[in-house]
């Protein structure tokens, strides 16, 4: 039960109760602390605000370095330009597809294995756990992975992006400990009613695990949404790129123009891409921001689950 | 069951670890092999008849792990065999330690190795303690709403793609960016940060702090809620002020969490944000920014020296494994808390 309630537990316990006798020094500290945290939040948010302001500003203003917090020469033309771009849309669509497919595969594999590993009486369980846990501490490395994907003929297919990350051992262990902490009476009762392992899994365990399943779905989908490197490594065709790689190429292009013409007055190309870059960044972040309230709550509880050992 | 109570239970195992013997965990058994003697002898035939559904369920996931995790592990054999791109996955012929000797005698390798150690060390130096400080500060906040807002905002960067983070860094540090505007406002001269090798480490570590400091507080905040409030009571009666309470009660209370995270951080020491470096560096900043993983990426996939790069990667993976094992061993011996 512990983990189940930990899953819904808010992260803060409200601090500790403190007696009425706070020294003057402590009061001063409280003020300092509050102001410090406000400033910190400013630092945390500033990059977002700047990018947002730039995305609504005129190209000229961005190029001249006038835009910091408030948009200058407010317009939404840049959004129109980006949205009208076919390559942007195909990348965005790819990201959505990769995220859906990848998350589905990952969830199926992780849930199945976690359920099996949570059967404490299962013979060979420790070997299976060992197989999974060892991959956390030693991994094949860049080149052997690349050779594998190439040999399997997955290069330039969606599967190169979607498959390799399918089981995150951390997520697996979190889920396993959740399943282990389910009351065993439920299982016993189901057995008496004649349900097999699969029946127990489908009819009893899954319906009772909605919270942990939601957490895992978010873990996986955010990871796949944000990933760019697998695509960078394994995909050569532009029409397969996810939006993160599209953005990366845009940024890399802009920065190489910048370093080439370092002092020699910034070209217009650079200014345009600073603008378009900002819009692309915003459009890439938006889905994450939209689900952020849920993501945050579930992520926190997921991390807490993960800290329950064994 | 109250929420605070639940988290308390969740951490109970970790907290007791500092005192008594190390609790035996599942991973523990898995790594050392079974410690319990088998209680009953049942033939595999019987087991399979009874549990075949479970084994069938595990089949695809285990096959997945074998193919996508273990084949690459064995694929490291091409560090000792000549590999022809497009040829056999395990290479064509044995060349022994040739590639290992090659990189051990490669001055570039030692250069990037040094960079990795410095960058990893700096990251550890800042990104490990700062979340503790932030968690302690957050813990002193009594307005719950304010605390929650600060938490939400500081977690946010964690959810961004590294591409976005690097994009933001480049915008802020560009010649017209906010940082250079500030420098010029104070009468300085604009600095092309990303083209200067002496700035690379600062930029990297700074962005790493921005991205990780908030998220890093989560486990500490959870641990802080489990500290026994009667200890504070006792400390106050003994005349301890807030600072001394923090020093003598709070910090010891979260020590097991600190140690666990320190071990993990040390184990990942050499894996310095490969993707971030790859996005952030350029030939002008190679002298400080190039790390082992980016070097082997260029050697392997840009210049097509697969075997050579694999030898470097294997070396790095083994060092990583040794480091996490020894960090774990040391902390178990010295402070009695360990990951497994």
Task: Please indicate whether residue B82 or residue A229 has the higher confidence score (pLDDT).
Answer: A229
Closest CB from B27, B221, B227 relative to A12: B221
Q: Which of B39, B131, B141, B163 is the best residue to mutate to test the A interface, defined by the most A CB atoms within 10 Å of its own CB?
A: B163
Rounded alpha-carbon distances, angstroms, from residue B148 to A142, A171, B2: 40, 26, 19
Phi, psi angle pair for B304, to nearest 5°: 65, 25
pLDDT above 70 for A259: no
pLDDT above 70 for A135: yes
Please write the tens of the pLDDT for every residue from A176-233: 988 988 888 888 888 888 888 999 999 889 998 888 888 889 889 999 999 999 999 9
Query: What's the rounded Cα separation, in Å, for the pair A149 and A299?
Result: 31
Which residues of B are less than 8 Å from A225 in CB distance?
Answer: 161
Contact B65 A51 (CB under 8 A): no
Length of chain A: 310
Look up the CATH number of the domain holding residue A185. 1.10.3720.10
Rounded alpha-carbon distances, angstroms, from residue A270 to A68, A253, A276, B249: 18, 9, 10, 55
Q: Which two tokens stand for residue A22?
A: 């706070």
Identify whether A52 is part of a domain.
no
A-facing residues of B in 115-174 (CB < 8 A) are: 134, 137-142, 144, 146-157, 159-164, 166-172, 174
Query: By C-alpha distance, which of B4, B16, B30, B6 is closest to B253?
Result: B16
What is the ipTM metric for this complex? 0.84
What is the C-alpha end-to-end distance of chain B, expressed in Å? 29
C-alpha R_g of chain B: 25
Task: Give the lowest-confidence range in A23-37, A153-167, B1-15, B68-82.
Answer: B1-15
Say how many domains are in chain A.
Answer: 1
Please write the tens of the pLDDT for every residue from A75-129: 888 899 888 889 999 999 999 999 999 999 999 999 999 999 999 888 899 999 9
B31, with CB counted inside 10 A (0-12, 13-18, 19+), is middle
Structure-derived torsion over alpha carbons of residues A90, A92, A93, A94, reported in degrees to the nearest 10: 90
pLDDT above 50 for A168: yes
Please write the tens of the pLDDT for every residue from B155-209: 899 989 999 999 999 989 988 888 998 999 998 898 999 999 999 999 999 999 9
Phi, psi angle pair for A242, to nearest 5°: -80, 170
Identify whether A129 is part of a domain.
yes
Which residues of B are less than 8 Å from A255 in CB distance?
Answer: 170, 194, 282
Contact A296 B25 (CB under 8 A): no
Please write the tens of the pLDDT for every residue from B277-304: 999 999 999 999 999 999 999 999 998 8
Task: Give the lowest-confidence range in A16-20, A264-268, B184-188.
Answer: A264-268
Identify whether A12 is part of a domain.
no
Q: Which two tokens stand for residue B222?
A: 């959870």
Percent of chain B whose pLDDT exceeds 70: 86
Task: Please indicate whether residue B180 or residue A259 has the higher confidence score (pLDDT).
Answer: B180
What is the C-alpha end-to-end distance of chain A, expressed in Å? 14
Phi, psi angle pair for B81, to nearest 5°: -130, 150
Scanning every residue of chain B, which has its alpha carbon at the shortest distance from the alpha carbon of A140? B73
Q: How high is the pLDDT of residue B3?
A: 35
Angle at which helix B129-139 crosses helix A24-55, to 10 degrees, equals 120
pLDDT above 80 for A133: yes
Give B94's strand partners: B81
pLDDT tier at A17, thresholds 50, 70, 90: very low
DSSP letter string over B197-232? HHHHHHHHHHHHHHHHTTTTHHHHHHHHHTS-HHHH
A-facing residues of B in 193-232 (CB < 8 A) are: 194-195, 210, 214, 218-219, 221-222, 224-225, 227, 229, 232
A175 touches chain B (CB under 8 A): no
pLDDT above 90 for B25: no
Of the candidate CATH numbers 3.40.50.10490, 3.30.70.240, 1.10.3720.10, 3.40.930.10, the domain formed by B95-334 belongs to 1.10.3720.10
Identify whether A131 is part of a domain.
yes
* Domain span at A97: 86-310
Whether the CA torsion B113, B114, B119, B122 is positive or negative: it is: positive
Q: How high is the pLDDT of residue B6?
A: 35
Query: By C-alpha distance, which of A145, A173, A167, A37 is closest to B134?
Result: A37
- CA triple B167-B194-A56, angle to 5 deg: 35
Task: Please indicate whether residue A22 or residue A31 has the higher confidence score (pLDDT).
Answer: A31
pLDDT above 80 for B39: no
Identify whether A144 is part of a domain.
yes
Task: Please indicate whether residue B91 or residue B157 has the higher confidence score (pLDDT).
Answer: B157
Question: Domain limits of chain B?
Answer: 95-334
Q: How high is the pLDDT of residue B93?
A: 83
Number of Cβ atoms within 10 Å of the Cβ of B303: 10
- Separation of CA B179 from chain center: 29
Q: Are A309 and A133 in contact (CB under 8 A)?
A: no
Length of chain B: 340
pLDDT above 50 for A10: no
Contact A141 B151 (CB under 8 A): no
Number of Cβ atoms within 10 Å of the Cβ of B102: 16
Identify whether A62 is part of a domain.
no
Query: By C-alpha distance, which of B199, B260, B286 is closest to A308?
Result: B260
Contact A285 B164 (CB under 8 A): yes
């Amino acid at each position: 039960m512990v983990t189940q309630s930990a899953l819904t537990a808010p992260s803060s316990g409200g601090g500790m109760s403190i007696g009425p006798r706070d020294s003057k020094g402590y009061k001063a500290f409280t003020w300092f602390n509050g102001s410090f945290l406000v400033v910190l939040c400013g630092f945390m948010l500033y990059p977002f605000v700047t990018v947002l302001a730039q995305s609504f500003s005129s190209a000229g203003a961005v190029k001249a370095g006038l835009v910091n917090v408030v948009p200058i020469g407010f317009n939404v033309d840049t959004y129109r330009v980006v949205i009208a771009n076919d390559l942007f849309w195909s990348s965005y669509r790819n990201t959505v597809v990769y995220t859906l497919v990848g998350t589905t595969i990952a969830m199926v594999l992780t849930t199945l294995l976690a359920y099996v590993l949570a059967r404490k009486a299962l013979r060979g369980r420790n070997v299976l756990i060992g197989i999974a846990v060892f991959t956390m501490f030693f991994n094949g490395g860049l080149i052997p992975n690349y050779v594998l994907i190439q040999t399997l003929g997955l290069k330039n297919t969606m599967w190169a992006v979607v498959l390799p990350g399918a089981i995150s051992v951390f997520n697996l262990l979190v889920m396993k400990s959740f399943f282990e902490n389910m009351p065993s009476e439920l299982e016993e009762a189901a057995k008496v009613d004649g349900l097999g392992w699969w029946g127990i899994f489908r009819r009893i365990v899954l319906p009772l695990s909605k919270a942990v399943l939601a957490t895992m779905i978010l873990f996986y989908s955010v990871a796949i949404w944000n990933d760019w490197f697998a695509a960078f490594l394994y995909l050569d065709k532009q029409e397969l790129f996810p939006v993160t790689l599209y953005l990366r190429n845009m940024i890399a292009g802009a920065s190489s123009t910048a370093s080439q013409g370092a002092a020699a007055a910034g070209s217009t190309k650079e200014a345009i891409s600073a603008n378009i870059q900002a819009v692309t960044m915003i459009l890439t972040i938006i889905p994450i921001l939209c689900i952020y309230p849920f993501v945050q709550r579930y992520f926190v509880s997921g991390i807490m689950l993960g800290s329950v050992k064994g | 069951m109250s929420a605070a109570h639940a988290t308390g239970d969740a951490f109970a195992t970790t907290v007791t670890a500092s005192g008594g013997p190390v609790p035996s965990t599942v991973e523990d058994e898995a790594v050392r092999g079974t410690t319990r003697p088998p209680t009953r002898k049942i033939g595999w035939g019987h087991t399979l008849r009874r549990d075949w559904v479970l084994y069938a369920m595990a089949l695809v996931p285990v096959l997945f792990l074998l193919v996508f995790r273990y084949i690459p592990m064995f694929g490291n054999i091409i560090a000792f065999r000549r590999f022809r791109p497009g040829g056999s996955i395990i290479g064509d012929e044995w060349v022994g330690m040739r590639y290992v000797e090659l990189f051990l005698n490669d001055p570039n390798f030692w250069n990037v190795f040094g960079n990795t150690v410095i960058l990893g060390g700096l990251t550890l130096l800042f990104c490990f303690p700062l979340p503790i400080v932030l968690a302690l500060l957050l813990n002193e906040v009594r307005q719950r709403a304010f605390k929650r807002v600060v938490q939400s905002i500081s977690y946010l960067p964690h959810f961004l793609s590294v591409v976005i983070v690097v994009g933001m860094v480049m915008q802020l540090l560009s010649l017209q960016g906010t940082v250079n505007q500030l420098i010029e406002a104070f009468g300085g001269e604009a600095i092309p940060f990303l083209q200067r090798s002496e700035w690379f480490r600062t930029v990297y570590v700074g962005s790493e702090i921005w991205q990780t400091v908030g998220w890093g507080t989560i486990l500490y905040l959870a641990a802080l809620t489990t500290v026994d409030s009667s200890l504070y009571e006792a400390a106050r009666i003994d005349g301890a002020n807030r600072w001394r309470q923090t020093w003598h009660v709070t910090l010891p209370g979260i020590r097991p969490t600190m140690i666990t995270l320190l071990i993990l951080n040390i184990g990942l020491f050499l894996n310095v944000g490969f993707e971030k470096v790859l996005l952030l560096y350029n030939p002008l900043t190679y002298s400080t920014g190039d790390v082992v993983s980016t070097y082997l990426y260029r050697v392997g996939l840009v210049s097509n020296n697969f075997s050579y790069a694999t030898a470097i990667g294997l070396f790095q993976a083994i060092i990583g494994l040794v480091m996490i094992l020894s960090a774990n061993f040391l902390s178990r011996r010295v402070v009695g808390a360990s990951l497994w």
